[in-house]
Structures are given as structure tokens and as C-alpha cells.
């Protein structure tokens, strides 16, 4: 089965925890063992598994990417000013796959799932969540 998780983002660059929304999709699917595939729709967004216990980790991720890929120096900026957002999204990547074990996400204690916004704020961002059962 698949479902679409929709969200709005309030900042140009932010990591938004979507773990609970993914858990809801898994519960509705009824799948006990298999995988969950997550895919961020949009060329300036990504999906990342990262620590959620300390919000400074999320801030550190955004700050690192800002240092590695600064704003305003890329050829694509001449088109619409978001060349850095495209590069950040490409570096992080649009998808993650998580094992499902006994109906639970196979994440460790400190791992959560984040939607990475690199060109916000946006009113309508989407993540395709596909749940597949073991055969």
C-alpha cells in the first residue's frame, strides 16, 4: 500500500520530524514485517534518518549544509535563486528505506525520520510512503 504524507514548512531550511506520520501509515497498512519506503517529492527536498533527542543535531545538519553549499554562488541561481537547495537535496537524497519488524519501524532508540526542506517555506510538501510486506 502507499499513502501520501503532506506537510507545510515554515522556514527556508529545516528538518521536520515525520516519524509519527510514518508510524500512522504503517499501522493503517496492517503489515507486520517488510519495508517502508519514503520518497520526498520535489527537487529541493530530501529525507534523512537522524537523531531527534537533541534538536541541536538538526541545527548542525542545516548549518553544515549551509557551509558546504552556500547560497548565491551557483549557475542555477540565475534562474530562480535556489541553486543551493537543489544541491543540498541531491546530496542528502530523496528517499530512505526502513525495515518493518513486528509492525514497528526498525529504527534505533535515537533515530527518527526527517523531511528536509531546503527551499521553503512551502505550504504543500509531499512524501510518498510505500509499505511492502514480506512475501
- Angle (nearest 5°) at CA 41 between 38 and 42: 140
Question: Global pTM?
Answer: 0.96
Q: Are 38 and 127 in contact (CB under 8 A)?
A: yes
pLDDT per residue, tens digit, the chain (135 aa), is 999 999 999 999 999 999 999 999 999 999 999 999 999 999 999 999 999 889 899 999 999 999 999 999 999 999 999 999 999 999 999 999 999 999 999 999 999 999 999 999 999 999 999 999 998
Short-list 126, 64, 127, CA closest to 96: 127
Q: What is the 3-state secondary structure (H, E, C) of the chain?
A: CEEEEEEEECCCCEEEECHHHHHHHHHHHCCCCEEEEEEEECCCEEEEEEECCCHHHHHHHHHHHHHHCCCCCCCCHHHHCCHHHHHHHHHHCCEEEEEEECCEECCCCCEEEEEEECCCCEEEEEEEEEEEECC
Distance CA 12, CA 110 (A): 25
Name the grid cell of 96: 530512505
What is the per-residue pLDDT for 135? 80
Domain 2-133, CATH homologous superfamily name and number: YjbQ-like (2.60.120.460)
Amino acid at each position: 500500500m502507499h499513502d501520501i504524507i503532506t506537510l507545510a514548512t515554515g522556514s527556508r531550511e529545516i528538518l521536520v520530524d515525520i516519524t509519527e506520520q510514518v508510524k500512522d501509515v504503517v499501522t493503517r497498512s496492517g503489515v507486520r514485517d517488510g519495508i517502508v519506503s519514503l520518497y520526498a517529492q520535489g527537487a529541493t527536498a530530501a529525507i534523512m534518518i537522524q537523531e531527534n533527542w537533541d534538536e541541536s543535531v538538526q541545527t548542525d545538519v542545516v548549518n553544515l549544509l549551509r557551509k558546504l553549499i552556500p547560497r548565491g554562488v551557483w549557475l542555477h541561481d540565475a534562474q530562480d535563486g535556489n541553486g543551493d537547495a537543489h544541491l543540498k537535496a541531491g546530496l542528502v537524497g530523496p528517499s530512505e528505506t526502513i525495515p518493518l519488524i513486528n509492525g514497528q519501524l526498525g529504527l534505533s532508540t535515537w533515530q527518527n525520520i526527517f523531511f528536509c526542506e531546503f527551499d521553503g517555506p512551502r505550504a504543500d510538501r509531499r512524501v510518498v510512503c510505500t509499505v511492502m510486506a514480506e512475501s
